[in-house]
Structure 1
Amino acid sequence: MSIKYSNLGGTLDDAALEKKLFDTVLERFINVIARIEQFYDLKKLSFEEAIGRLKAFEERTKRGARGVHSDSGQLLLTQSEWEAR
């Protein structure tokens, strides 16, 4: 977005980029966007940090969808469960 605006001769600060980003993200990110807007000062939050928070949320939800299984399909055990076996 920033590059498109600069090609047209304009510039956008981080707050404007974040506003545009938050207005165009997928529906599944609505909850995390609401939390970012509630807990962070958007005037001080960098655009890269906002992107990072959305990526972290996406990675966590993907990891949560996989559950506690490893990629090989085996159930992961805690240290005490392993020692008990």
Structure 2
Amino acid sequence: MAVALRTTSMALMVVALLAALGLLLAWAMGWYSALVGNQGDGGRRMVDPVELHRLRQQAEARRAAQQAGGTDPLSGESRDGV
């Protein structure tokens, strides 16, 4: 941009402005690509069967503890907050 503003040659100004536009577009496309690349899976990830089984066991233990009126097995807090 500085070259386009400071030059007296019309041809050099056009070339400099086109180069600036091309660099701006390349930067915007790279920025967008990086943004979309980080969210390629939509924020979701696959849960393997072992992890799924562990999560189900934790949920079942929490439900059993809540029904029994005991403490939460993961946090150690009682139902009445004491």
TM-score (norm 2): 0.32
Higher relative contact order (CA 8 A, sep 6+): 1
Which has the greater radius of gyration?
2
